[in-house]
Amino acid sequence: MAGRIPQQFIDDLLNRVDIVEVIDSRVPLKKKGKEYTACCPFHSEKTPSFTVSQNKQFYHCFGCKANGSAIGFLMEYEHMSFPDAIEELARSQGIEVPYEGGQRPDPALKKAQTDLYELMADANQFYQTQLRQHADAEIAIRYLKERGLSGEVAKDFGIGYAPDGWDNLLKALGTTKEREKGLVTAGMLIKKDNGKCYDRFRDRIMFPIRDRRGRCIAFGGRILPKDTPNDKDAKYLNSPETPLFHKGRELYGLYEARQALRDIPRLMVVEGYMDVVALAQFGVRNAVATLGTATTPDHLQRLFQLTSEVVFCFDGDRAGKDAAWRALQTCLPEMRDGRETRFMFLPDGEDPDSYIRKIGKEAFESEVKQSQTFSEYLFKQLTEEADISGIGGRAKLVETARPMLSQMPEGIYRKLMFEQLEKLGRVELSTSTSAPQTNRRSRAFRQAAKKSSASMTPVRKAITYLLHQPTVAKAWHDTGRNSEILKTLDLPGMDLLLEVLEILRINPNLSTSALIERWRETPSGSHLAKLASEQPELEDDAALEVEFIATMDALLKQSVDHRYDDLQAKLDHSTLNETEMAEYKMLLQQLYAAKSASKSD
Ligand SMILES: [Zn+2]
């Protein structure tokens, strides 16, 4: 297929790079026995469960189950596409990526994306320059100064100024038709029906919104405080959704928080950009803001990748309370053990900016730390709504709370929440009601995982051995045994086992990760990754080889028996054709040979 990267190249590339080096340069690793460990970059933790195996060229986290090859790591950690991750690894080795047909798929699209990032960087630069130089920037500067903002923090956050007028940005950056088109796509210009374009952001303080890698992907613009505010202008204006910007995923200030802090014990979600920036001015560098939306599950996942505690900071008014309750509901499925969310309500009429100004950093931070926990807030809210001194109220409480708590992932936290509900409702909830169906699967999975390899099916065992030591495939092929007949055995996973064996027959030197790469983004791929992550109980390579061949032999015997029974049954009722007869005779021979071998033992 044109534009594809040849498999051979990917294999060779994964052979050349060392995953330990790739990860270590981004997440410093410590050597521990045969493997390398670190605190997981994909979930928040205090003791390392992130493990990198040099042997398998594979990483794996026992906590969040993240796993993959060097390619997979770059895709996850750097948010790269598959071809980009390969390009990056190839670059590190000083080699060029070949594409079938000589071309990268849709290079125009790729270039267009790069151009958009460049245009956004240019726009950011333009606005920052305007803040320093434009004659009208004075009001903006005065506003920022009144909020106590230092030049340093303004620079950290890349704050700028979009001058009043319809075509400032257009004139400065839209120098060619192509750039103009790009600026429209990036949401910076608006195209009228007659084809003419104009600036989206006018006479506003500009806050660049940066992605995880620090690239400007959108803007938030705040109107300037004027004597006669124009009511038609919204106070805040955000970039629209663009190929670079999806507001349900991005958080303002997250990049800056990561830059400023090494460890992030908690992240605070506030309402607006100005709150984030003002808190940063007071040395509170862990605040982020959603961008004109409520907190989404995507947001929460990103937050919990970086920290174990998320504090929502809301206005104390009705709107703030409604927003908090909505946030709590979004949190329910994310409340795994080890995570906490808190809810902080500001006094009437205060925003985080005015409040920290009034009480100071220390008092503010201690209020954050002491704000209501998830369980406190949830039960306080529900018991306020229902009078639990009577049976009716308690029934209402249980009725409302039970489906909510059922959304929590299984674990101690959930269990304690249900216990608290039982106490408040003065009822005993049967386990079947506290553990809804949706969690049965994961429980079954955990139980299955707990089973020792002794109770693993032979197919699963064989695949696991192949993943731990891909060279055992060669040992198997060297025995000269014919695996063909295994195809007749209808066992779960058999197709996959044979596929793995065949790939390793052709490419005997593949590493575990290169092997698994072939199933990227397929159910088999995640199944293989899971098996590869399991700790091998046979540390010795030689023992593993013996065990693998024994397992395969057992499967072979099973398929011979099975196939023989099939043919025998057919022979009893009708006749066999020529090939079947030949096969039948061959099987018969094999069975005799096996019998006499076991007798002589
Ligand atoms: Zn993890």
Q: What is the pLDDT of residues 246-265, one digit of tens each?
A: 888 889 999 899 888 877 88
Query: Does one domain contain both 59 and 189?
Result: no
Give the end of a domain, one of 57, 75, 102.
102
**Residue 24, domain member (yes or no):** yes
Mean pLDDT of 283-299: 90
Cα 187 to middle of ligand 1, angstroms: 36
**Residue 218, domain member (yes or no):** yes
Query: Does one domain contain both 480 and 570?
Result: yes
Please check the confidence at residue 583 and state whether its pLDDT lies above 90: no
- Give CA 538 to chain center in angstroms: 32
**Residue 533, domain member (yes or no):** yes
Query: Does one domain contain both 121 and 97?
Result: no
Q: What are the residues whose beta carbons fall under 8 Å from the beta carbon of 362, sequence distance 6 or more?
A: none
Cα 585 to middle of ligand 1, angstroms: 55
Q: What are the residues whose beta carbons fall under 8 Å from the beta carbon of 554, sequence distance 6 or more?
A: 458
Three-class SS state of 258: helix
**pLDDT band, residue 329 (cuts 50/70/90):** very high
Cα 373 to middle of ligand 1, angstroms: 24
- Give CA 145 to chain center in angstroms: 39
Q: What are the residues whose beta carbons fall under 8 Å from the beta carbon of 416, sequence distance 6 or more?
A: 375
Query: Does one domain contain both 96 and 120?
Result: no
Cα 29 to middle of ligand 1, angstroms: 14
CATH number for the domain spanning 569: value is 1.10.860.10
Cα 571 to middle of ligand 1, angstroms: 57
Quick check: 233 and 216 in contact, CB under 8 A? Answer: no
**pLDDT band, residue 227 (cuts 50/70/90):** low
Query: Does one domain contain both 459 and 595?
Result: yes
pLDDT of residue 108: 60
**Residue 244, domain member (yes or no):** no
Cα 440 to middle of ligand 1, angstroms: 23
Query: Does one domain contain both 142 and 214?
Result: yes
- Strand spans (E) along 224-359: 236-238, 266-270, 287-289, 309-315, 340-346
Lowest-confidence pick of 83-92, 264-273, 484-493: 484-493
Query: Does one domain contain both 198 and 275?
Result: no
The CB density around residue 513, as the number of other CB atoms within 10 Å, is 26
**Residue 2, domain member (yes or no):** no
Cα 257 to middle of ligand 1, angstroms: 20
Token match 């007659």: residue? 194
Cross-strand pairs, 237: 221
CATH number for the domain spanning 62: value is 3.90.580.10
Amino acid symbol at 372: Q
When comparing pLDDT for 73 and 530, which is higher?
Answer: 73
Cα 439 to middle of ligand 1, angstroms: 21
Task: At 220, list the tokens.
Answer: 């938030």
Domain extent, residue 134, equals 115-238
Cα 38 to middle of ligand 1, angstroms: 10
Work out the angle at residue 451's Cα, subtended by the Cα atoms of residues 445 and 452, and round it to the nearest 5 degrees.
140
pLDDT of residue 452: 43
Cα 44 to middle of ligand 1, angstroms: 7
Query: Does one domain contain both 497 and 542?
Result: yes
Cα 554 to middle of ligand 1, angstroms: 37
Please check the confidence at residue 446 and state whether its pLDDT lies above 90: no
pLDDT of residue 191: 93
Query: Does one domain contain both 303 and 345?
Result: yes
**pLDDT band, residue 433 (cuts 50/70/90):** very low
Spatial distance between the Cα atoms of 131 and 135, rounded to a whole number of angstroms: 9
**Residue 28, domain member (yes or no):** yes
Quick check: 315 and 343 in contact, CB under 8 A? Answer: no
Q: What are the residues whose beta carbons fall under 8 Å from the beta carbon of 208, sequence distance 6 or more?
A: 120, 124, 127, 157, 158, 159, 160, 216, 218, 219
Cα 284 to middle of ligand 1, angstroms: 27
Cα 436 to middle of ligand 1, angstroms: 26
Give the end of a domain, one of 102, 126, 144.
102
- Cα–Cα separations (whole angstroms), residue 123 to 129, 183, 254, 289, 332: 10, 9, 21, 22, 39
When comparing pLDDT for 436 and 384, which is higher?
Answer: 384
Token match 């503010």: residue? 364
When comparing pLDDT for 474 and 576, which is higher?
Answer: 474
Q: Report the domain count for the chain.
A: 5
Quick check: 334 and 297 in contact, CB under 8 A? Answer: yes
Cα 23 to middle of ligand 1, angstroms: 14
* Beta strand pairing call for 35-38 and 30-32: antiparallel
Cα 289 to middle of ligand 1, angstroms: 25
**Residue 445, domain member (yes or no):** no
Cα 45 to middle of ligand 1, angstroms: 8
When comparing pLDDT for 80 and 132, which is higher?
Answer: 132
Give the end of a domain, one of 173, 206, 238.
238
Spatial distance between the Cα atoms of 315 and 459, rounded to a whole number of angstroms: 58
**Residue 13, domain member (yes or no):** yes
**Residues measured by CB to lie within 5 Å of ligand 1, the ion:** 40, 42-43, 61, 63-64
Cα 339 to middle of ligand 1, angstroms: 13
Three-class SS state of 395: helix
pLDDT of residue 347: 93
Tell me the three-class secondary structure of 166-202, residue by residue.
CCHHHHHHCCCHHHHHHHHHCCCEEECCCCCEEECCC
Query: Does one domain contain both 55 and 156?
Result: no
pLDDT of residue 320: 87
pTM for the whole structure: 0.59
